[in-house]
Amino acid sequence: MKDGFVQADAAQDIMKMAVFERHHETGTKGSGFLKGFGFKKGAMAQTVSHDAHNLLVAGTNDEDMALAANTLVECGGGMCAVADGKVLALVPLPIAGLMNDLPAEEMADLISKLDAAWKEMGCVINSPYMTMALIPLACLPELRLTNRGLVDCRTFQFVDLFVE
């Protein structure tokens, strides 16, 4: 905790995460924490997130998270990696935030650069965007982070982030 705010802790493999509704201007957002990706620095963001395809962002610090999310807002969606205040890789998906009409070779090159950026940031899992895309999927069991908050999908109840 710093200045009354809970922080990410890269040393313990804990990133902050936020899910923003991006289709109906509802302003709903959920926030929580993520473990298991291994990021030592930076943030990742994407608009590919089953089933609602909202904007997901996870990171080790607020500044990189904001840059990652805003980068995707500016380009109409996609996936990106940010560290130390710089966009390391960007895969723009301007068609509904899910697709691009670039040739397959160009898309493969962009994905390769994104993969290299994740590894540079310390990521320990393959294709982290696939794991990230499932985090808000509320039809899967256990806990899910949606744009409305943390949900226990077994009981269909919202769960507080903090327990006393």
Task: Show pLDDT as tens, one digit a residue, over the chain (164 residues).
Answer: 677 778 899 999 999 999 999 999 899 999 999 999 999 999 999 999 988 999 999 999 999 999 999 999 999 999 999 999 999 999 999 999 999 999 999 999 999 999 999 999 999 999 899 999 999 998 898 999 999 999 999 999 999 988 77
What does DSSP assign to residue 58? Answer: E
Sign of CA dihedral 123, 93, 142, 160: positive
Q: What's the angle, vertex CA 29, arms to CA 26 and CA 32, rounded to 5?
A: 170
Q: For residue 9, give the amino acid letter.
A: D
* Contact status, residue 148 vs residue 30, Cβ threshold 8 Å: yes
Predicted pLDDT of residue 5: 78
* Helix ranges, the chain (H): 62-75, 104-120, 128-134
Length of the chain counted residue by residue: 164
Q: What is the pTM of this model?
A: 0.93
* Helix count and strand count (H, E) for the chain: 3, 9
